[in-house]
């Protein structure tokens, strides 16, 4: 065996070891980065929120006219302008499940049981 092929073989072996060591560590680092970028999912609200199909909360919708009072941003690339413009939401009203009104139930055991 000539020394060149010996050195070449050693280099290939060494390279394989280095790659084998680097691979899992790189994957770990990528996973760690992914974990940092994705914020933990916030806890679901206790009561379902009445979000309209337009994406706005029920409180933005007028009680009488049902029109959505929220402002939406129209991106400039939609209108050809440089900056975004604000328009009133075109939603005609909230149609969805209305959560039960919160009510206060007086304490039955009024301390005199």
Other CB atoms within 10 Å distance of the CB of residue 52: 20
Q: Identify which of residues 29 and 95 has a Cβ nearer to Zn ion in the complex.
A: 95
As a whole number of angstroms, the distance between CA 109 and CA 54 comes to: 45
The nearer residue to Zn ion, 74 or 89, going by C-beta atoms, is 89
User: What is the Cα–Cα distance from 68 to 91, expressed in whole angstroms?
Assistant: 5
Least distance to Zn ion, CB of residue 77, Å: 21
| CB 64 to Zn ion: min, Å | 15
- Scanning the chain, the segments in alpha helix (DSSP H) are 3-37, 76-79
* Closest to Zn ion by CB, 25 or 63: 63
Residues within the interface to Zn ion (CB under 5 A): 52, 54, 56, 68, 70, 89, 91
Report which secondary-structure segment, H or E, holds 74: strand 71-74
For residues 81 and 74, what is the distance between their CA atoms, to the nearest angstrom? 10
**Of 16 and 75, CB closest to Zn ion:** 75
Query: Taking the complex as a whole, how short is the minimal distance between the CB of residue 38 and Zn ion, in angstroms?
Result: 28
CB of 89 to Zn ion, least distance (A): 3
């Amino acid at each position: 065996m000539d020394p060149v092929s010996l050195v070449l073989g050693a280099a290939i072996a060494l390279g394989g070891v280095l790659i084998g060591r680097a691979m899992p560590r790189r994957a770990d680092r990528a996973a760690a980065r992914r974990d940092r970028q994705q914020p933990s999912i916030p806890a679901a609200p206790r009561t379902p929120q009445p979000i309209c199909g337009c994406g706005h909360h029920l409180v933005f919708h007028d009680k009488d006219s049902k029109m959505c009072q929220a402002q939406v941003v129209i991106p400039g690339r939609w209108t050809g302008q440089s900056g975004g413009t604000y328009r009133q939401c075109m939603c005609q009203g909230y149609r969805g499940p209305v959560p039960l009104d919160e009510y206060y139930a007086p304490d039955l055991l009024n301390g005199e049981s």
